[in-house]
């Protein structure tokens, strides 16, 4: 992989979660390889074929914005992890207060209301 393609891929996937970035890089690399092969069949040199294929991808910055709309980003993963930790910590705290169905007829509903409220606050459905 040449420096131009490597740079394009880094810019286009820098905000994506690692798994998403890896998948996108693999797909784009496969697309580039196909485009390069086609350009070579048309008589272009390896270097020119690769340069044209990367150019045909368009702006890496535009691609980064588009990819962030459809793939999980690093920020979203971080937010989800924080929310998950908050919900788990609050779940333990709620259990410490005895809201685990043993506090009478209202206990079970109380626990459900707590968890529902905490999950909504944390942004976890």
- Quick one: 29 and 45 in the same domain? yes
Q: Are residues 7 and 57 in the same domain?
A: yes
Query: Per-residue DSSP letters for 19-63?
Result: HHHHHHHHHHHHHHHHHHHHHHHTT--HHHHHHHHHHHH--HHHH
Q: What is the pLDDT of residue 71?
A: 63
Q: Are residues 64 and 87 in the same domain?
A: no
Within 8 A by CB and 6+ apart from 7, the residues are 60
Residues 111 and 60 occupy one common structural domain? no
Q: What is the pLDDT of residue 120?
A: 65
116, 63: one domain: no
* Whether 115 and 88 share a structural domain: yes
Task: Give yes or no for a contact between 52 and 44, defined as CB atoms under 8 angstroms apart.
Answer: yes
Say whether both 84 and 115 belong to one domain.
yes
The answer to whether residues 30 and 61 belong to one domain is yes
- Confidence (pLDDT) at 31: 92
Q: Are residues 85 and 55 part of one domain?
A: no
Per-residue confidence (pLDDT) for residue 118, from 0 to 100: 64
- Of 121, 122, 117, nearest to 81 by C-alpha is 122
111 and 64: one domain?
A: no
Say if residue 8 is in the same domain as residue 55. yes
Same domain, 55 and 79: no
Q: Split the chain (125 residues) into runs of 10 and give each run's mean pLDDT.
A: 88 85 90 94 94 93 85 58 59 51 48 63 61
Last residue of a domain, one of 35, 54, 72: 72
DSSP category for residue 73: B
Residue range(s) defining the domain that contains residue 37:
3-72
């Amino acid at each position: 992989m040449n420096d131009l393609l490597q740079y394009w891929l880094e810019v286009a996937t820098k905000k994506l979660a690692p798994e998403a970035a890896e998948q996108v890089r693999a797909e784009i690399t496969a697309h580039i390889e196909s485009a390069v092969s086609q350009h070579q069949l048309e008589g272009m040199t390896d270097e020119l074929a690769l340069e044209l294929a990367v150019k045909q991808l368009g702006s890496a910055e535009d691609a980064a914005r588009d990819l962030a709309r459809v793939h999980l980003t690093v920020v979203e993963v971080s937010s989800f992890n924080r929310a998950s930790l908050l919900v788990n910590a609050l779940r333990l705290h709620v259990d410490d207060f005895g809201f685990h169905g043993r506090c009478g007829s209202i206990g079970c509903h109380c626990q459900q209301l707590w968890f529902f409220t905490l999950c909504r606050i944390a942004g976890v459905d």
